[in-house]
Amino acid sequence: MKCPFCGNLEDRVVDSREAEDGLAIRRRRECLNCKRRFTTYEEIEEKPLLVVKRDGRREPFDRKKLEVGILKACEKRPVSLETIETLIEHLVRKLRTEFYGEISSKEIGEKVIKELRKIDEVAYVRFASVYRQFKEAVEFAEEVKKLQKIP
């Protein structure tokens, strides 16, 4: 493992433990040259999940894009970072187990909307407005009416 500080290729493993989700191994390493410590994660290499966009393009699934969208929807809402992180982990795990190879962006959006509705109604409407591309205020009102009808 190359040291991120000095570039040396020799290190020793100081500590190994299972990561929080149990899907990776966290290793603390110490560079044998500069003696600085750094952390690495070892995880199972999975077949890439491709997202089929609305226009038919395909691109690799990007957890970061999912995270940015959810964080934006939950901005200035009483939703803890821990809740958001748990939601993202849950969604990524669900996508990787339910879909193999390809998934449409529509299916991802619907799963996010379903989960956000359980956590925070305002975040849900925010995400839905971007995902469903609301053009007018009437569309917001209709979505809020749906919320009021469904417990």
Give pLDDT, residue 74: 94
Q: Which amino acid is at 142?
A: E
Can you give the pLDDT of all 151 residues of the chain as single tens digits?
A: 899 999 999 999 999 999 776 778 999 999 999 999 999 988 877 778 899 998 999 999 999 999 999 999 999 999 999 999 999 989 998 998 888 889 999 899 989 989 998 999 889 888 887 777 667 767 767 776 776 665 5
Give pLDDT, residue 101: 87
Provide the CA 50 distance to its chain's centre, in angstroms: 15
Give pLDDT, residue 93: 87
Enter the tokens of residue 65: 């894009």
Measured CA distances, 101 to 105, 128, 131, 135 (Å): 13, 25, 22, 32
CA angle, 89 as apex, 81 and 117 as ends, to 5°? Answer: 70
pTM of the complete model: 0.62
Residue 95 phi/psi, 5-degree rounding, is -65, -45
Give pLDDT, residue 140: 63
Residues 140, 125 contacting (CB under 8 angstroms): yes
